[in-house]
Amino acid sequence: MKVTVIGYWHAFPEAGEAASGYLIEENGFQVLLDCGSGVIAQLQHYCKLGDIDAVVISHYHNDHIGDIGALHYFRLLQPVISEEPQQPITIYGHKEDPDGFENLSFQGTITTEPYAADKPLNIGPFTFTFYKTTHPVPCYAMKIQSEQSALFFTADTGFSTELAHAASGADLMIAESTAYKGEDGASFGHMTSEEAGQMAGLANVPHLLLTHLPHFGDHDQLVTEAQNECPDTKVEKAAGGWSKIL
């Protein structure tokens, strides 16, 4: 499984970058996790839009779905600008916000499928298992398993021991760190760097990637603060194009 960070900003993208988006690939099958603002532009540095097989959306906040409309319009124009046959694409989302799920569809250009917490889904070579997070709107973390490896993505959440236990056994945890140590992330359904580190320590994962990063301060400080909580885990911060084969 290859993981590539397409975008990692909280709320909105900085110049030339993107909000939440991660490309997961194995054996030529390509899944986009989240499709925040700026993701469709940045994604094209790493793959062709027409090659994406599936999109999995954690929740319906704009920094995670802002570019779904751009993907819809690409699908609409694709038959006009390319003679290659259009390959199917499915967007997966939860149905706890019916309007949010409905808005994933567009004029028959894209298939949509719901997911739920108690129903693992096979998507291409991956098995996805979904876990409810602590967030102001319904949001799901996910464990993504292939034959060889496992990835855990916290999506947006406050600190949760349940999520830490769910992440156990993952080769990489991508965890949100919207706030610095000492700030109040919990009131907004987000984690501090310290809490992301504690979650990685509880999960005993070998590798932690901090993401959903704030628009102020020094992100290296987030890494130091998280690392202090999980000395046996390698901690890094997300950046556009950061990539790893698990």
Return residues touching Zn ion (CB under 5 A): 61, 63, 156
**Please, what is the minimum distance in Å from the beta carbon of residue 85 to Zn ion?**
35
Beta bridge partners of 245: 2
In angstroms, how far is CA 118 from the centroid of its own chain?
19
Q: Return the half-sphere exposure (C-beta side, CA atoms, 13 A cut-off) of residue 32.
A: 31
Name every residue whose Cβ is closer than 8 Å to that of residue 245 and which is 6 or more positions away in sequence. 1, 2, 3
d(CA 61, CA 228): 31
* Residue 19 DSSP symbol: B
Nearer of residues 74 and 140 to Zn ion, judged by Cβ? 140
**Please, what is the minimum distance in Å from the beta carbon of residue 195 to Zn ion?**
16
Q: How many CB atoms lie within 10 A of CB 9?
A: 23
Nearer of residues 30 and 177 to Zn ion, judged by Cβ? 177
**Please, what is the minimum distance in Å from the beta carbon of residue 125 to Zn ion?**
27
**Please, what is the minimum distance in Å from the beta carbon of residue 136 to Zn ion?**
7
**Please, what is the minimum distance in Å from the beta carbon of residue 135 to Zn ion?**
6
Nearer of residues 75 and 135 to Zn ion, judged by Cβ? 135
CA proximity to 170, closest of 60, 57, 24, 49: 24
Nearer of residues 30 and 37 to Zn ion, judged by Cβ? 37
Nearer of residues 4 and 178 to Zn ion, judged by Cβ? 178
d(CA 114, CA 5): 24
**Please, what is the minimum distance in Å from the beta carbon of residue 140 to Zn ion?**
11
In angstroms, how far is CA 143 from the centroid of its own chain?
11
d(CA 101, CA 93): 6
H/E element, 199:
helix 193-203
Nearer of residues 205 and 213 to Zn ion, judged by Cβ? 213
**Please, what is the minimum distance in Å from the beta carbon of residue 238 to Zn ion?**
13
DSSP strand E in 15-59: where?
Answer: 21-26, 29-33, 54-56
Nearer of residues 61 and 132 to Zn ion, judged by Cβ? 61
